[in-house]
Structure 1
Amino acid sequence: MTTETVGCVPALDDLERAVEELESRPMSQFRTVREPAAELERQARERGAEELAQRALLLCAGVMLREGRTGEGGQIAHQVCAWAERHDAPTVQARAHRELSIFYRAVGDSSEGLTHAVQAVAVLPEDAPGSVRARHLLSLSVALEEGGSYADGERRAREALTLAATAGDTEMTMLVLNNMAYSAFELGDEPAARRLVEQMREIQARTGHRFGANEVDTMARVELMGGRFEAVEDLLRPVLADQVLANESDAVAECLLTLALARRQNGRFDGCQEALDAARKLCAERELAAVSARVREEQAALFAATGRYAEAYEEHRAFHAESTALHSAQRDARARALQAVFEANEARRASEHFREMAHRDALTGLYNRRHINERVPALLVEAAAARRPLSLAIIDLDHFKRVNDTLSHATGDMVLQHVAELLEEAAAGPAIAARMGGEEFLLVFPGVDAAEAAQRCERLRLRIRAHGWEPITGTLQVTTSVGVTTAPDGQATFSALLSQADRNLYAAKRGGRDRVVSGAAG
C-alpha cells in the first residue's frame, strides 16, 4: 500500500498506524482517545476501510464505557462484535468481547461479563502482542474474581503479569499488580498483599513510574491491615495535596475515605471528621453517589466511636436511605443501558455463533436456562405431533454447600465442571444437558420413554458416585439426587414437566438422597 495521501485524506497504511497507536495507548490515557478515534472512523469510512472504521468505533465505545456512558458504549460494542463475527475479523471480535465484558459487569450481570471475558481471550489470535493479551487476561481475571472464582482469577492475573513484564509494559504491569494487591486486601491476606505492593515499589524505583491515586489507595489499605496508621497518612498526603495523578473521578474521594477510616481506628476522631467532611464535599461536587453512601456509613461509625449513639443511629438511617436510593438508581441505569443495547441488537441476534454463546453457561460450558426455556417447549410440540415420548430429569448435587464451605468455592467450581462433563457423556444423541443454576442441572431426553430415562439417570448417578473425586474433594463424597418425569406422547407443558420432576427430586432427597425417583407428569 502506498504511503502517499490523496487530497486531505490519509492513505490506508497511515490510517492503520494511527488506529494502532490509539489502541496501544495506556488505559490511563483513555480520555485522549475519543476525538482522534472519531476522526479516524470518519476518514476510514471515506476510504471504504470498514475494518479500520470498526476498530476506531470500538475505541470510542471503550471511552464511553469508562466515562459512565454505559448504554451507548455497550450498544456500539455489540454492533462491532456482530460485524467482526460476520466478517471473520478475530482481533476486532476479541477486543469487542473485552468491551462487552466491561459493559455487562458495569450493569451488574457478572455471568454475562464472564462469558464475554472468556471469549475475549479465546478468539484473540495467537500472534497478538503480549501487552494486548495481558489486557484481555486481566479482564478475565477481574470477571472470574467477581464471580467468586478467586483461584482462577489469580492464575489469569499472573499470566497477564508475566506477559506485561516480558513486553516491558510498565503501566500494565502496575495495573495487574495493583488489582492483585487489592484482591489480596479484600480477602484479608496481608502477607500476599504486602509482597505485591513491594513488587510495585521495586518497579517504581527501577523505572520511575509515577503511582496514581488508585495505586496509592491500595497501598494505604494494605498498611491499614497492619494498623500502620502513620504510613497511611504518609502515603495519602501527596494525593490530597494534588501531587498525584487521579485518572478516575472517585479516586481522591476513595483516598479520603481510607484516611478517615485510618484516623478513626487510630483514635484521631477530629482528623477523621475532617477527612469525612472533605470527602462529603468532593462527592457533592462530582456527584459520587456510591462513595457518598459509604461516607455516611463511616460517619455513623465515627459517631458511635465517640459515644454519640443517637447521631450514629440517625446517620446510619441516612446511609441506608442513600444506599436504597443508589440501588434504585443503579437498577434504572442498568435497565436503560440494557434497553439501549438490545434495541439495536438485531445483528447480534442474527449471528448463530453469538446466539450459541449466549445460551451457554460460562463455568461449565453446558446449555443454560435461557436455552432450555426456548428449546424444550419446541421439543414438546414436535413430540406431540409425532406422538413420541419426552423425558426430563433434574439433577441436584447432595450437600454441595459442604464442598464450598469446607474446601473452597474454587473447589466447588471444579466439582461442577466435572459433573458437567459426566452429564455431557449421558446426553447422547439428541439429548440435552444444561445447568439451571447453582448445583442444579437438567437432562432432556427427546424420544425416550420413562423406563429408559430412569435407567439412564441411574447409570449417571452411579457414574458420578464412582468418579475419582479424591484429588478434588478429598474425603468428601459427591453424590446426586435425581427427579425424572416423562410426557408419554408429548402431551404436557414444560412447566408441568418441571414441576413433576422437581417433586420427584424432593422425594429422592426425603428418601435419603443419592437416588433416582421417577414418575410421569400429571
Structure 2
Amino acid sequence: MSAMLSAVDEPGTDRTAPTASPGPATVTRESLADLLHDLELRTVEDFRAVAGPARRAERVAAEHGWTDLRKRAELVTGDVLGRLGQVADQGRIAKSVNMWAQEHADRYLLARSHRLLAIFFRRLGDAAEALTHAVPGVEYADVMPPLIRASHLITLALVLDLNGSFEQAQERFSAALEIATKHDAAPMVITILNNMAFTAYENEDGAAADELVARIRRIAAEHTLVLDGLYLDTMARISMMGGRPAEALEILRPVLADPDGPLVTEGDALPECLLTVAEAHRLSGQPEQAREALDEAARLAGERSLASVTARVHEARAELHALTGDFAAAYAEYRLFHAATEKLHSVQREMRARAVQAVFETAEARLATEQFRQLALHDPLTGIYNRRHVDEQLERLAGSATRDGTALSVALVDLDFFKRVNDTFSHGVGDQVLRRVATLLGDAVAEPALAARLGGEEFLLVLPGADPLAATAACERLLETLRRHPWQDLTGSLPVTASIGVASFPHDFGSSGGASGSALLTLADHNLYAAKHAGRNRVVHGALAP
C-alpha cells in the first residue's frame, strides 16, 4: 500500500500557486530564501515541478557564495530524487548537508537534513535509525516557520508509527494538524488527516478511519481541492474494511475513468488502485471483473518495473483462484508469489546496502576516517572487498611489480551455471551461496593477497608475488575446496563449481613492457572465457601467452 508514502514525506501548499525561478539579475538573498521556503513546502504537491527551480536556486546560491542557501536547495533536490526512486542519492545528499550543518552549527539545515535522513532510513525500512534523525529534526525546527515545523512533526509521527508508538504518533499528528488548521493550509490538513486515516486503517479502527475520511471529504469540498489517486485508494480500502466494496469501487471510479489524468500523480498509483479494485470485485462476488483488474495491474507493473506490485498480483490471483475452486491454479500462483517475493527481498537487501553505503561514502569524503573507508571498500552482500577497492589497489600493485621486477597474478573466478541456483531455489539461497563462496575465497588467500567481489557471481583474487605456477596451484586448490564443500543444505544435489582465468606479470607480457591492472584483468577475462569454453569447472592460464 503506497497511499501513505505519497504525501507523507513533506506536506504542501496550494498546488495552483505558481513557483517562480530565481532570476539572475534581480535575485537577492531574501528573495532566494523565500523561493526555497516555497519549494520546501510544495515538494509533495508537484515534486517534478520543483526539481528545475531547485537546481537553478542551487546554481544562483553558489554564484553568490550563499552556501547555506545552496545546501537548502540541495535538500530539495534530494527529496525529489528520493521520490523518483533514487534513494541512495537522497541519502548521500542528506548526509553531506547534515555534516556541513553540524560543522557550522546551522540549526535550520540541521533540522532539514535530519528530517531527510529520517525519510531516507524510513524508505529503507530501518525504523530505529529513522527515529534517531526524526527526533532532532523536530528539536532543531524551533527556528523554522510554522508550516515547515509542522512538516517535521508529520515526519516524526510517521516514524513513531513505524516503530509501533501509535499514541505518540497521534500526538505529533495532532500538533501538526493544529498548526496547519491555524494557518488555513488545507492541503497540509488533508495530508495529515490522510495519514491518520491510514494509521487507523492499519490498526483496524474502522470508526476512527471513517470519521477521518468524512473530514477529508468536507475540507476538500470547502476548498475545491481534488484528491489524487493515492488519497482515494486509502479511502477505498477503508470502505472495504467497513464491508462496503461497492462504495470502494465508486470512490476509485474517477481514477479508472482517466488512467492518464491528473489524479494519477505517481508511477505506482494506478496499479495500487487496480489492486484495490480487484479486491473490491472479489468481495462483491465478481471474479471476472477482479481478474481483468489484476491483469491490467500486472501489465502496468511489468512496464514500470514495480516488483512489489507484481508479487501482490500473484497473491491476489491465488486468492481469486481459491475463491472459484481452482486450487491447482491457486497453488501455481502462490508459488509465483513466493518466488517473486524472494527475488524482491534479495533486490531490496542489495538496494538498501548500496544506499547505506552511499551515505557512508559521503561521510568518508568529509571525515576521512578508516571506519567509513572500510565500509565503502567492501561489498555490501558478502563483506569482502568490492570493485572500488580493486581499482584502487590493482594499479598500485601493478606499478610496484613493474618497478621492482616482481611477479603479480590475478584470477577471475566465475561461478558455473549460477542462474540455476536462483531459478531452482530462490534468490535468497543464491545470496547465501555467494556469501559462502566469498568466505571460502577469503580463507584461500593471505595478505598481501586479497579477494573481492566484482558483481553478480564474479569474484577476483589478486596474488602479489605469485608466478604462473603458484597462482595456478592456488586456484586449483580453491576449485577443489568448492567441489568438496558440503553445499547440500543450500543447493541439494546441485553442485557449486567455478571457472577461473589467470593472468600473470611478467610471464604474460613478454617484452611488451610494464604491467597495468586493466591489462591483467583483460588477459584474465580471456582466459576465463577459455575455461568456460573448455567445459567449465577448471583453471586456464596462459591462453594468450606469447
Mark yes or no: TM-score above 0.5.
yes
> How much has 1:129 moved relative to structure 2?
2.2
What does residue 269 of structure 1 align with?
Answer: 287
Q: Under a length normalisation based on structure 2, what TM-score does the superposition of the two structures give?
A: 0.61
- Structure 2 counterpart of 1:187, one-letter code: N
Residue pair 1:37, 1:59 contacting (<8 A) in 2 also: yes
CA distance in 1, matches of 2:149, 2:38: 16
> In the TM superposition, what whole-angstrom CA distance separates every residue of 1:479-513 from its partner, at most 9, and x where no partner exists?
xxxxxxxxxxxxxxxxxxxxxxxxxxxxxxxxxxx
Give the partner amino acid of 1:23: E
C-alpha contact 2:255 2:270 (8 A) present in aligned 1: yes
Distance 1:260 1:30, change over 3 A: same
Q: Confirm or deny that 1:343 pairs with 2:324.
A: no
Q: Which residue identity is paired with 1:116?
A: H
**Equivalent of 1:298 in 316, 320, 325:** 316
Alpha-carbon contact 1:184-1:190 (below 8 Å) kept: yes
Which of 42, 54, 58 is matched with 1:37 structurally? 54
Please report how far the alpha carbon of residue 170 of structure 1 lies from its aligned counterpart in structure 2 after TM superposition.
1.2
| Alpha carbons 1:9, 1:43 under 8 Å: kept | no
Distance 1:7 1:304 in 2: 64
Q: Is the 8 A contact 2:246 2:284 kept in 1?
A: no
**Corresponding position of 2:254:** 238
SS at match of 2:45: helix
CA 217–185 in structure 1, closer or farther in 2 if over 3 Å, else same:
same
* Matches of 2:103 and 2:49, distance apart in 1: 30
Aligned twin of 1:76: 93
Distance 2:46 2:24 in 1: 31
Structure 2 residue corresponding to 1:66, chosen from 83, 93, 111: 83
Residue type matched to 2:157 in 1?
S
Aligned partner of 2:465 in structure 1 is none
Q: Distance in 1 between matches of 2:300 and 2:48?
A: 21
Q: Is the 8 A contact 1:121 1:133 kept in 2?
A: yes
- 2:278 alignment counterpart: 260
Q: Could you tell me which of 301, 306, 310 is aligned with 2:328? A: 310
Residue 221 in structure 1 maps to residue 257 in structure 2: no
Separation in structure 1 between the aligned mates of residue 255 and residue 28 of structure 2, nearest angstrom: 44
Q: How far did 1:350 drift?
A: 8.5
Partner residue, 2:69: 52
1:193-234 deviation per Cα after TM superposition (whole angstroms, max 9, x unaligned): 001001101101211111111110011011101221221111
Report SS of the residue matched to 2:141: coil
Give the conservation status (yes or no) of the 8 Å contact 1:28–1:247: no
| Deviation at residue 240 of structure 1 after TM alignment | 1.0
Q: Which residue of 1 aligns with 2:269?
A: 251
Counterpart among 149, 152, 167 of residue 151 in structure 1? 167
Which of residues 148, 154, 157 in structure 2 aligns to 1:138? 154
Counterpart of 2:301 (choices 276, 283, 293) is 283
- Give the one of 31, 36, 40 matched to 1:23: 40
Q: What are the Cα deviations for residues 118-177 of structure 1, in whole angstroms up to 9, with x where unaligned? A: 11001112x522211111111111101111111111111111111111111111111111
Q: Work out whether residues 220 and 231 of structure 1, in 8 Å CA contact, stay in contact via their aligned partners in 2.
A: yes
Structure 1 residue 185 corresponds to structure 2 residue 207? no
Matched, 1:199 2:215: yes
Give a deviation string over 1:18-42, Cα, whole Å, max 9, x none.
2222223251211112121111111
C-alpha RMSD over aligned residues: 1.8
In structure 1, what is the equivalent of residue 500 of structure 2? none
Distance 1:178 1:130 in 2: 20
Q: Are the equivalent residues in 2 in contact too, given 1:26–1:171 (CA < 8 A)? A: no
**2:90 is aligned with what amino acid?**
G
* Paired residue type of 1:193: A
Q: Match for 2:111: what amino acid?
A: A
Matches within 5 A, 1:428-443: none
AA partner of residue 190 (structure 1):
G
Query: What is the SS of the residue equivalent to 1:319?
Result: helix
Q: Shift of residue 244 of structure 1?
A: 5.0
**Taking structure 1 as reference, are residues 284 and 11 closer, same or farther at Cα in structure 2, changes over 3 Å only?**
same
Alignment of 1:320-335 (within 5 A): 320-335=338-353
Contact map agreement 2:36 2:72 (CA 8 A) in 1: yes
CA deviations on 1:28-60 (whole Å, 9 max, x unpaired) are: 211112121111111111111111111111111
Aligned-residue offset at 1:286 = 1.2
**Greater Cα offset, 134-143 or 30-39:** 30-39
Letter in 2 for 1:327: H
Say if 2:171 is the partner of 1:171.
Answer: no
From the superposition, tell whether residues 134 and 350 of structure 1 become closer, same or farther in structure 2 (CA, over 3 Å). Answer: farther
Matched-pair contact (CA < 8 Å) for 1:78–1:348: no
Note the residue ranges of structure 2 that are not aligned, 5 or more in a row.
1-21, 370-546
1:360-375 → structure 2 map (5 Å cutoff): none
- Which 10-residue stretch deviates more, 63-72 or 308-317? 63-72
State the percentage of identical aligned residues.
43
Q: How far apart are residue 250 of structure 1 and its match?
A: 0.8
Change beyond 3 A, Cα 1:347–1:87: farther
- Look up the match of 1:368: none
SS of residue matched to 1:123: helix
Quick one: which amino acid aligns to residue 126 of structure 2?
D
How far apart, CA to CA, are the structure 1 residues paired with 2:126 and 2:234? 25
Aligned residues of 1:301 and 1:312 also touching (Cα < 8 A): yes
Q: Distance in 1 between matches of 2:250 and 2:355?
A: 41
CA distance in 1, matches of 2:236, 2:200: 13
SS of alignment partner, residue 249 of structure 1? coil
- The amino acid across from 1:332 in the alignment is E
Q: Which amino acid aligns with 2:66?
A: A
Residue 99 (structure 1) aligned to one of 110, 116, 137: 116
Cα distance, 1:277–1:6 mapped onto 2, change above 3 Å: closer
Q: 1:132 to 1:7 in 2, by over 3 A?
A: closer
The amino acid of 1:28's aligned partner reads E
Q: CA deviation at 1:11?
A: 3.1
- The 1:230/1:334 distance shift into structure 2, 3 A limit, reads same
Calculate the TM-score normalised by the size of structure 1: 0.64
Preserved contact between residue 211 and residue 244 of structure 1 (Cα < 8 Å): no
Cα offset for 1:190? Answer: 0.3
Contact 1:238 1:244 in 2 (8 A): no
Structure 1 position 8, deviation (Å)? 4.4
The letter for the 1-side match of 2:214 is E
